[in-house]
Amino acid sequence: MEALELISSNKIFGGYQKVYSHVSSELGCKMNFSIYLPPQADGGDSALPVIFYLSGLTCTEQNFITKSGFQRYAAEHGIIVVGPDTSPRGVKIAGDDDSWDFGVSAGFYLDATKQPWADNYRMGSYINKELYELIQSAFGNLVDPGRVGIMGHSMGGHGAIVSTLRNPGLYKSVSAFAPICNPSACPWGKKAFSGYLGEDKDQWAEWDATELVKKYDGPPLTLLIDQGAGDKFYIEKQLLPENLVEACRSVGVPVILNLREDYDHSYFYISTFIGEHFNFHAKILKA
């Protein structure tokens, strides 16, 4: 088992919000991740469901655990919550911190194929293989491997949906706040995909939820998408949830799109509706 180093531990709503670091073989650097252990994890006889939360552009593992207020709902439902960082850190690739929407803090939860990014920018494999397996082994006495969900925000919403569609059955439940739903068709996605993957649009489609859902052939799945109608990135056509909804409906994949009047892209919005998302996941993971 990989060695974990405890960075911090804080009691909240009867459980413990912890942050650990470990050396990632996929990314070639030290990585932090957060894990919330609800009160039910203390001496409980049964393993608990787990939700992975993927954060958005410019974020670390800290934003969600300090701003969303999710711990109240995780404690209520008895759900462990894991939050990885958003990109490799400290690998020192030329240009990796030149812009806020590419490179550091902008890994897009894919496996890069274009140099110089291909060796380290492997967030897809990091999330869905390395970290997934690390949580199962390091917290194996607490985690139920058959009850795992995933959610995310913005770039992380993209990551959550794509991770679910690319790995049928790995995640039983999935939801997203303001996800980048069709990155092949928006400025953020075009910049990231051309930088990490090159110009082959067939490769882009392998990391685009709107394209992936058209060929999804896994266990039954319902997508929950939450979108603030006052979100400037929604208005500027960076997120394109309607494209994903249309694709889902064309192939009969159930999808819920909640359009929230006047809400923006921030954690004020996420904290308002995070309880609803935990209710959604709990119904599926605890059924």
Select from 255, 235, 89, 239 the least CA-distant residue to 153.
Answer: 239
Whether the CB-CB separation of 182 and 173 falls below 8 Å is answered with no
Whether the CB-CB separation of 245 and 253 falls below 8 Å is answered with no
DSSP for residue 198: -
In the sheet that holds 173-177, the strands lie side by side as 5-12, 15-24, 29-37, 80-84, 48-54, 143-153, 173-177, 223-228, 255-260
Question: Alpha-carbon dihedral of residues 259, 262, 265, 270, nearest 10 degrees?
Answer: -70
Q: Report the C-alpha gap between 82 and 140 in whole angstroms.
A: 14
Residues identified as active-site: 154, 231, 265
Q: Report the C-alpha gap between 94 and 3 in whole angstroms.
A: 29
Whether the CB-CB separation of 225 and 175 falls below 8 Å is answered with yes
Helix, strand or coil, per DSSP, at residue 65: helix
Q: DSSP H helical segments within the chain, as ranges?
A: 62-67, 71-77, 123-125, 132-138, 155-166, 187-197, 201-205, 209-212, 232-235, 241-251, 267-285
Structure tokens belonging to residue 58:
């410019």
Region for 56 from its dihedrals, namely left if φ exceeds 0, alpha if ψ lies in -120 to 50, beta otherwise: beta
Query: What type of residue is 25?
Result: S
